[in-house]
A and B are shown apart, each in its own frame.
Chain A
Amino acid sequence: MSISVPAPVRGFFRRHPRLTRALELAVRPFEAASKKVVFGCKMCGQCILHETGMTCPMGCPKTLRNGPCGGVRMDGRCEVIPGMMCVWVKAERRSRWLPWGGAILKVQPALDWSGAGSSAWINVLADRQGKEAS
């Protein structure tokens, strides 16, 4: 994750796994509900919204995290769901408005599916993804 969390915070969460788990249980429904309404969040557990122009890449039928596929229609719509605008067409457009829009150029590693369903917020604070999460 590119959001840097101060070492003492990470350390705190590392030292208190049970507290982290309790906090996660409390935060998760709130995170899921709010991000679902605003961004169509799929709770992948490794949020990169801020690097994709605040557009959730998991809404892409191919769940592409590094850019659009070659099948985007000429009008910018998705090849799989013609009624939907391509997630990456939106991401590219929106990232131009963000001061940190260049983050869209970052090469995103493969998603750790063992962390799917967990709270990305807590994962960032605890500096973890995947296995240990959820």
Chain B
Amino acid sequence: MTRPIAPVLRLEEAFRSGLPVVTCEIATGDGADPDEVLRRVRLVRDHVDAVNVPDNTAGIVHMAAWAAAALLAREGVDPIMHVTCRDRNRMALQSDLLGAAALGVRNILCLTGDHMVHGDHPGAKPVFDLDSLQLVSLATVLRHGRYLSGREIRPAPALFPGATENPFAPPYDFRPLRLQKKVEAGARFIQTQITFNVKRFAAFMERVRDLGLDRTVPILAGVAPVRSARSARYMRERVPGMEVPDAIVRRMEQAGSERARREDEGIRICVEIIEQLREVRGLAGFHLLPIHWEEAVAEIASRARLTPARASLSAHVEATARDAGSADARRDDREGALLNRHREHRA
């Protein structure tokens, strides 16, 4: 009897495999059309282990993250739901997390949230009842079967909480320590801000390795393709917390305004950054942020030879099975051995 290889590996299992993991953020669209979300996710699903769904990103109202994440889960894609502290107090956050878990959404990315002054409702009341770190703690408390009030939850939601870090914003020395605090609070994975300045990222990771954090928590480096010189300039000047070196803006300017050429250059820069980041020790994989350009993901994955952990694992198991003929027991063995090896590595 042959056991089919699971087409979807939960993000948690992907990390446990120790193989490089790839995740990607998609835009959730402005309308109430589920097909818009599905169209975008279909462009990226084959190239990643899990897909991030943003929560009113940049303070601009979009479809609720839990709803978009549930649409993904129904499609057989493991969603990572962004949860921000901007719009909900601790009561709403808890009920949202329970509801999301009930809809098959387990991975949650705990964020402070972009402030509304930069969004389309600058007059809205800021909530920020919790901060991102307290949100990680909250998810951990829920996971262990309690509300923040101490009341018992039955059954407890099987949440897999993650957090972010931005190595490119001051105070630079504090960033690795803040990451450590998040891990202490219960963060099980980390996705970083978009990397354009590899040197600064490497310095950040050096400190992270000194603290031993790369062995405690899988860290995915954020990378993104730039589509035009205009968007590179916009990110450099208008998006707080984003560092775009002049060299990249110049390269995009030199690529000119012809669409095919500038897009090709943007993808090329992204692939180069991925190659450079591969030299940085302590990374568990990559997190792609195509910023409304999901079409680029397939090209980046192919040029940078990015393979999601589940594909690597399936290929490995298939190869083992071919070697061993029809010996199923041995296939399980090898798969188990691979998982165990990396578990030891992480321990």
Contacts and interface: CB of A to CB of B under 8 A. Distances in A.
A79 to B, nearest CB: 4
A107 to B, nearest CB: 5
A107 B186 CA distance: 11
A43 B240 CA distance: 29
Contact of A92 (B86, B165, B174): B174
Given A67-B133, A110-B130, A72 B170 contact: yes
Interface in B109-125: 112-115, 117-118
Contacts of B174: 67-68, 88, 92, 104
Nearest to A63: B128
A70 B137 CA distance: 19
A68 B169 contact: yes
Contact of A70 (B134, B138, B166, B181): B166
A108 to B, nearest CB: 8
A71 interface: yes
A103 interface: no
A74 B170 contact: yes
A107 B133 contact: yes
A61 B115 contact: yes
A93 interface: yes
A113 interface: yes
B294 interface: no
Interface residues of B, number: 38
A71 B173 contact: no
B35 to A, nearest CB: 32
A93 B240 CA distance: 21
Interface string B127-148: 0111111100110000000001
Given A76-B171, A86-B170, A88-B174, A66 B181 contact: yes
A108 B132 CA distance: 11
A89 interface: yes
B314 to A, nearest CB: 35
B114 A92 contact: no
Contacts of A105: 177, 180-181
A109 interface: yes
A70 B164 CA distance: 9
A72 B178 CA distance: 14
B155 interface: no
B137 A109 contact: yes
Given A89-B171, A107-B133, A107-B184, A62 B117 contact: no
Contacts of A86: 170-171
Most central of A69, A76, A89, A113 by chain B CB within 10 Å: A69
A73 B240 contact: yes
B241 interface: yes
Given A66-B134, A79-B115, A109-B137, A74 B243 contact: yes
A84 interface: no
Contacts of A64: 112, 128, 131
B163 to A, nearest CB: 11
Most central of B165, B169, B173 by chain A CB within 10 Å: B169
A80 interface: yes
A112 to B, nearest CB: 11
A100 B297 CA distance: 48
Given A89-B171, A92-B174, A70 B112 contact: yes
B90 interface: yes
Given A89-B170, A92-B173, A72 B241 contact: yes
B170 A61 contact: no
Contacts of A79: 115, 118, 240-241
Interface in B277-319: none
13 contacts: A62-B113, A66-B133, A66-B134, A67-B131, A72-B240, A74-B243, A107-B133, A107-B137, A107-B184, A109-B134, A109-B137, A110-B90, A110-B134
Rank and list the top 10 A-B pairs by shortest CB-CB distance, nearest first. Answer: A70-B166, A79-B240, A66-B133, A71-B240, A72-B169, A67-B178, A92-B171, A71-B241, A64-B131, A69-B112
Given A66-B178, A109-B137, 18 more contacts: A62-B126, A62-B128, A62-B131, A64-B128, A65-B134, A66-B131, A66-B181, A67-B131, A70-B164, A70-B169, A72-B171, A74-B170, A75-B170, A76-B171, A86-B171, A104-B177, A107-B133, A110-B138
Interface of B: 85-86, 90, 112-115, 117-118, 126, 128-134, 137-138, 148, 164-166, 169-171, 173-174, 177-178, 180-181, 184-185, 193, 240-241, 243
